[in-house]
Amino acid sequence: MVLETERNLRLALRGPNATTNLVQAGVLLAALALLLFLASWPEVGAVAILVAALVSAAIVALALHLTPATVMRLYGARPHEPGSLRQLENLLSELSQRSELARAPDLYVIPSTLISAFSYGTTHRSAIAVTEGLLRQLTMREVAAVLAREISQVRQGNLLLLAVGDLVTRAAQALYYLGLALAALNLWRLLTGFDLVSWWSVALLILAPALMNLLQLSLTRARDLDADRKAALLTGDPLGLASAIARLDTSTGSVTDDLLPPVPARKVPQPSMLRCPPASQRRIARLHALDAPPMPALDVAEGPRISLVGVGPIEMRPRYRWPGVWF
Q: What is the pTM of this model?
A: 0.81
Top-confidence residue, 162 or 231: 231
Q: How confident is the model at residue 1 (pLDDT cuts 50, 70, 90)?
A: very low
In this prediction, residue 192 carries a pLDDT of 87
The CA distance from 241 to 327, in Å, is 22
250 pLDDT tier (thresholds 50, 70, 90)? low
pLDDT in tens, 127-142: 998 888 888 888 889 9
**SS3 call for 127:** strand
Interacting residues of 191 by C-beta distance below 8 A, sequence separation 6+: none
Q: How far apart are CA 212 and CA 264, in angstroms?
A: 12
Residue 289 near residue 136 (C-beta atoms within 8 A): no
Task: Write down the pLDDT at residue 78.
Answer: 86
Whether pLDDT at 238 is above 70:
yes
Q: Read off the pLDDT band of 34 (50, 70, 90).
A: very high
Least confident segment among 235-239, 256-260, 279-283: 256-260
Let me know: does 162 contact 153? Beta carbons within 8 Å. Answer: yes
- In the chain, domain spans: 2-21+67-326
Sheet holding 126-131, edge to edge: 78-79, 106-110, 126-131, 117-121
Using CA atoms, how far apart are residues 145 and 137, in angstroms rounded to an integer? Answer: 14
3 state SS of 120:
strand
